[in-house]
Amino acid sequence: MEDNANLIESLFERATEYGKTSYELVKLKVIDKTSDTVSSFIPHSIVFILIVSFLIFLNLGLAFWLGEILGKIFYGFFIVAGFYGIAGIIMHLFMHKWFKKRISDYIIKLLIK
- Is residue 3 in a domain? no
Q: Is residue 17 part of a domain?
A: no
Give the pLDDT confidence of 68-102 residue by residue, as tens digits.
999 999 999 999 999 999 999 998 888 878 888 88
- 108 within a domain of the structure (yes/no): yes
Task: Please return the burial class of 76, using the count of CB atoms within 10 Å of its CB with bins 0-12, 13-18 and 19+.
Answer: buried
The reply to whether 20 falls in a domain is: no
Whether residue 74 lies inside any domain: the answer is yes
Examine residue 44 and state whether it is found in any structural domain, yes or no: yes
Residue 88 lies in a domain: yes
pLDDT tens profile 29-56: 888 888 877 777 788 889 999 999 999 9
Q: Is position 12 within any domain?
A: no
Domain count, the chain: 1
pLDDT in the model for residue 1: 61
Q: Which domain holds residue 103?
A: 34-112
User: Quick count: other Cβ atoms within 10 Å of Cβ 65?
Assistant: 13
Answer whether 66's CB lies under 8 Å from 78's CB: no
